[in-house]
Structure 1
Amino acid sequence: MSQQEEYAATYEFGKTKVHVVAPEPKSQKDIDKIRQAYYKAGWAIIKEIQVKENVEE
Structure 2
Amino acid sequence: MPPKLKTALFWIVAIFLVYAIITSPDRAADLVRALWDIIVSAFSSFGRFFANLAE
- TM-score normalised according to structure 2 size: 0.57
Structure 1 gap ranges (5+): 1-20
Which position in structure 2 is the counterpart of 1:53? 50
Q: Superposed, which structure 2 residues align to 1:11-50 within 5 Å?
A: 25-26=19-20, 27-50=24-47
Q: Which amino acid aligns with 1:51?
A: R
- TM-score normalised according to structure 1 size: 0.56
| Higher normalized contact order (CA 8 Å, seq sep 6+, divided by chain length) | 1
Q: Please state which structure has a larger fraction of its residues in strand.
A: 1
What's the Cα RMSD here?
A: 2.5
Q: Which amino acid aligns with 2:30?
A: K
Identity %: 6
Larger radius of gyration: 1
